[in-house]
Amino acid sequence: MAASVQGDRTGNLPAEANEFIGRRLELAEIAVLLGTARLVTLTGPGGVGKSRLALRAAHAAKPAFRGGTWLVELSELRNPDLLTNTVAQATRLTEQTLRPLLGAVCEHLAGPPLLLVLDTCEHVLAECARVVQELLAQVPELRVLATSRQALGVPGEQLLAVAPLPLGERDDAVALFAARAAAAVPSFALTEANRPDAAAVCARLDGIPLALELAAVRLRGLPLERLLEGLGSRFDLLVSSARPQPARHQTLRTAIGWSHELCTPLERLLWARLSVFVGGWDVEAAEFVCHGGPLSAEDVLALLASLSEKSIVTRDGEGVAGRYRMLDTVRSFGAEWLAGLGEEQAVRRRHRDYFRWIARQGEAEWLGPGQRMWAERLTAEHANLRLAVEECLATPEPETALELTGSLWYFWFACGFAEEGRGCLERALRRASEGGGPEHTLAVWAHRLVTLVPDDLEAAESVSTAYVWLAEERHLPVPALPLTGASLAVRGESARSAVLYGSTRQAPAGDGGAEFFQLMTLALQAYLLAGQAAFERCASVAGRLRQECQKRGELWMRAWGDFFVSLAAIGLGRPDEALRPAREALTAKWRVHDRLGAAAVADLLVAAQAARGEDELAARLLGVSRSLWRTAGLPQLGRPDTTVFHREYERRLRASLGDARFAEAVREGGELGPEAAIGLALGGDGAGEG
C-alpha cells in the first residue's frame, strides 16, 4: 500500500549519497525556470552530472510542491511502451484499472502543485515527449524537470545545458575531486602544496564529475603526483589514436578505459558480463549469469567487492540482501567490451534463463511462508524481469515468453502490476499464433486472471473457463470456481449468485495456481455469504480460509480471511471484535504491496470505527480510504459521488461531526503519508509523515 500523490507531501526522492559540491549558479537558474516554465530539461553529455544536479534541485524545490516531488528513473527502461507504467509505479499508482493507463496517471497526479523528475530520457526520447506533452496538457499544476542528452522537443520546453565544473584551483572541480579523494583515502587533505596537482588532474579530466570521481578512487593505490603522471601518459596515447569524438565524450571514455585497464583480467570479464543487468542485481544472480570459462561462480563475490572498491559498481544494503548497481556510462563501456568478446548473446540468454527460473520458483513458493520475501524480491527485480520478457519475446520459440509471462501471474495479479502484466501476456499470446500446449494454456489463464475486474461478468466466466483448461492440461482435478457468482454479487444479484455458486471440491497443492484457486474458492464463498448478510456462515468460511492459509504461512489470501472475519463481526453488531482481524489484514496487504486490498481494508476500518462511535477517527480514515483507492488506480471507487459506501458514511459522519469538522478530518486523513496512514489505521495517531 502507498498513499496517493496528494497524500504524500514529500514524494519519493532518495537521500543524496554524499555531499553535493558546487553548481550554485545552475541551481539558482533551475529554481527560476521551474517558477516560469512547466518543462525544464537539463542537457549535456554522459557523466557531466545532470542526474545529480536534478536530484539536488528537486530536493531544494520540495517546499514549493505540496503534491510532492517524484523521481522517475528511466535508465533501466528498455521498452518505450512501458514508460507510462514506469511513471505510474514511481508515483505509487497501482495498475489495477482497465482504463487507458495514461489517463489514469493524469487523474492520479491531479491536485496540488507537483514536480515530476524524469531522469535519463535520451534512449526513450520520442515516448518521453509524447507522455510529457499529454501530462502537461491534462494536469495543470504539474511541472516536469527532465535530464537528457538532447532536448525532448515539447512545446514550451526550457533548456539548461549542464557544463563540466569550473577548473580553477579554488573552483568546484577541485573541491569535488578533493571531497571524493578524502572519502576514498581518509588521510588525504587538500593543501596549498598539492592544490596545483589536484587542479591539473581536474584540467586533464575536463572537469567532468564522473571522471573526477573515478580518478579520486585511484588515490587508494597511487600518490597524487603519480596519478597525474598516469593520466597524462594514458590520455596522450588515447587521444592521439582514438577516432574523432567530442572532446568531453573522449575524456570520459578515456577515464573509464583507464579504470578498466587497472582492473585484473577477471575483474574486466565480470564488469563486461554484469552489463547485461538493469536495475541492479544480487550476488546469486551475478554468480549464475556471469560465471563461465575462467570466471567461476566462487570467484564472483570477491571480484564484486574489488569492483566496488574501485567504484565500478556500488552496493546498497548489507549481507545477502545487498544489491549492486552500475552507472549507465560505466555499464555502456562494459557492454561494448562484452560485445567485443563475442559473449553478448550467451550472457543475455543466461540472464533470461535465470529470471525464468526465478519466476517459476516464486510461483511454486508464493502460497507459503516466503510470500512476503517473493513480493519484495520480484519488485526489486522488476527491471530485470522486464528485460527477460523482452529477450523471450525476441526468441524464435514463443513458448519461452508464454512460460515466463504466465508463470508471473501471482506478481501481476497480487503485487499491483496488472496493467503491465496484461500487456506482456497479450504480446506473448500474439506471437503464439497457434494455440495449444501447457505454456499457451497457462498464459491464457494468467491473462484472463489479470484482466478480471469485480463487475465484469464475462471476464469472471472466462477466468473460470481458462482455469478448467489449465487444470485439464496439467491433469489436475478441477475445483468449482464461483467467480461468476462473485461477479453477480458485486452487481447486486445476490440471490442469483447463490444459485450459481457450486460446492467446493479440493484441488491438490501446487502447480499452476491450483492451490491458489482452492483458497480463492473459500474467499469468494465468504464474499457471497457476506453479500447475503449470512454473517455467521461468512465468519465460519472465513475462519476455514484463515486456517488453510496459516498452515502454509501464506499472507495475501490469509488477509482476505481476516477481512471477512472482520466484516462479519461488523455485520453481527460486534465492531470491537472487528478491529483486530482488520488490522491484521491491513498489515499483511502492506507487506505484500497489495494496494487494492489495503484500500478495501481501509473501508472496513471506517465502518468499524463509525460503529464504535469513533466518528472523528472514522472520518480521518475515510480520507485515507479515498486516497488509497486513487493509489490503486480505481479513483471511481474512491469518489463519494460514485460510491455507495462512501456516500453513506459521508452522510452519517457529516451529520455527526458537522460539515466543517467532517471536511477537515477527511482532509487530514487524505494528506497523511503512507507510514502515517498505516499507523493511524493500526491504532496510532497518524502524526508521523512516513
Structure confidence at residue 599 (pLDDT):
84
Structure confidence at residue 630 (pLDDT):
74
Q: What is the DSSP string of 299-339?
A: GHHHHHHHHHHTTSSEEESSGGG-EEE--HHHHHHHHHHHH
Q: What is the 3-state secondary structure (H, E, C) of 38-101?
A: CEEEEECCCCCCHHHHHHHHHHHHHHHCCCCEEEEECCCCCCHHHHHHHHHHHCCCCCCCCCCH
- Could you read off the pLDDT of 139-181 as tens digits, one per residue? 999 999 999 999 999 999 999 999 999 998 889 999 999 999 9
Backbone phi, psi, residue 116, to 5°: -110, 125
Determine the average pLDDT of the residues in 404-428: 90
Q: How confident is the model at residue 345 (pLDDT cuts 50, 70, 90)?
A: very high
Q: Is 148 helix (H, G, I), strand (E, B) or coil?
A: strand
Structure confidence at residue 86 (pLDDT):
94
Which of the two residues, 243 and 515, has the higher pLDDT score?
Answer: 515
Structure confidence at residue 541 (pLDDT):
92
Most confident segment among 263-267, 410-414, 434-438, 621-625 = 263-267
Distance CA 598, CA 562 (A): 12
74 in Cβ contact with 147 (< 8 Å): no
Determine the average pLDDT of the residues in 330-350: 94
Q: Bridge partners of 299?
A: none
- Could you read off the pLDDT of 244-282 as tens digits, one per residue? 445 556 778 888 888 888 899 999 999 999 999 998 999
Considering the chain, what is the average pLDDT of its residues? 83
Structure confidence at residue 431 (pLDDT):
87
120 CB-contact burial (10 Å; exposed 0-12 / middle 13-18 / buried 19+) = buried
690 pLDDT above the threshold of 50: no
516 in Cβ contact with 484 (< 8 Å): no
Determine the average pLDDT of the residues in 234-244: 49
Distance CA 534, CA 545 (A): 17
- Could you read off the pLDDT of 485-494 as tens digits, one per residue? 333 333 344 4
Q: What angle do CA 225, 230, 236 make, to 5 degrees?
A: 125
Backbone phi, psi, residue 40, to 5°: -120, 125
Structure confidence at residue 292 (pLDDT):
94
Residues of the chain above pLDDT 90, percent: 51
Q: Which of 109, 116, 102 has the alpha carbon at shortest distance from 38?
A: 116
CA of residue 37 relative to chain centroid, distance: 28
Distance CA 461, CA 454 (A): 12
The HSE-up count of residue 626 (CA atoms within 13 Å, CB side) is 26
515 pLDDT above the threshold of 80: no
- Could you read off the pLDDT of 47-70 as tens digits, one per residue? 899 999 999 999 999 999 999 999
Determine the average pLDDT of the residues in 608-614: 92
Q: How confident is the model at residue 402 (pLDDT cuts 50, 70, 90)?
A: very high
243 pLDDT above the threshold of 90: no
The residue whose grid cell reads 507510514 is: 675
Structure confidence at residue 235 (pLDDT):
63
Q: What angle do CA 330, 81, 595 make, to 5 degrees?
A: 95
Backbone phi, psi, residue 476, to 5°: -110, 145
* E strand or H helix at 201: helix 195-204
Q: What is the DSSP string of 167-206?
A: -STTSHHHHHHHHHHHHHSTT----TTTHHHHHHHHHHTT
Give the CATH fold of the 265-342 domain: Arc Repressor Mutant, subunit A (1.10.10)
Which residues 6+ apart lie within 8 Å of 418 measured at CB?
Answer: 95, 96, 412, 450, 451
Pairing of strands 39-43, 142-148: parallel
- Could you read off the pLDDT of 629-673 as tens digits, one per residue? 777 655 444 343 445 566 778 888 999 999 999 999 999 998 887
The HSE-up count of residue 136 (CA atoms within 13 Å, CB side) is 17
495 CB-contact burial (10 Å; exposed 0-12 / middle 13-18 / buried 19+) = exposed
Structure confidence at residue 651 (pLDDT):
86
The three cell numbers of residue 677 are 496512514
Q: What are the domain boundaries of the chain?
A: 24-161, 172-261, 265-342, 351-451, 559-681
The residue whose grid cell reads 498489515 is: 587
Distance CA 535, CA 520 (A): 18
Structure confidence at residue 236 (pLDDT):
56
Distance CA 226, CA 221 (A): 10
353 CB-contact burial (10 Å; exposed 0-12 / middle 13-18 / buried 19+) = middle
Distance CA 361, CA 370 (A): 11
Number of DSSP helices (H) and strands (E) in the chain, helices first? 33, 7
Pairing of strands 158-161, 39-43: parallel
264 CB-contact burial (10 Å; exposed 0-12 / middle 13-18 / buried 19+) = exposed
Q: How confident is the model at residue 284 (pLDDT cuts 50, 70, 90)?
A: very high
189 pLDDT above the threshold of 90: yes
The three cell numbers of residue 610 are 463509525
Determine the average pLDDT of the residues in 560-571: 92
Backbone phi, psi, residue 41, to 5°: -115, 125
84 pLDDT above the threshold of 70: yes
Q: Minimum mean pLDDT among 90-94, 475-479, 530-534: which range? A: 475-479
620 in Cβ contact with 665 (< 8 Å): yes
CB neighbours (10 Å) of residue 307?
23
Which of the two residues, 206 and 464, has the higher pLDDT score?
Answer: 206
Q: How confident is the model at residue 460 (pLDDT cuts 50, 70, 90)?
A: very low
3-state helix, strand, coil in the chain (%, to 5): 65, 5, 30
What number does CATH give the domain 24-161? 3.40.50.300
327 pLDDT above the threshold of 70: yes
Q: Minimum mean pLDDT among 97-106, 437-446, 509-518: which range? A: 509-518
Torsion over CA: 418, 420, 426, 428 (sign): negative
Which of the two residues, 533 and 40, has the higher pLDDT score?
Answer: 40
Side chain identity, residue 83: L
The residue whose grid cell reads 570521481 is: 213
Structure confidence at residue 1 (pLDDT):
32
Structure confidence at residue 3 (pLDDT):
35
Distance CA 51, CA 131 (A): 20
Angle between helical axes of 283-290 and 300-309 (0-180°, round to 10) = 110
Determine the average pLDDT of the residues in 197-217: 91
Distance CA 678, CA 681 (A): 5
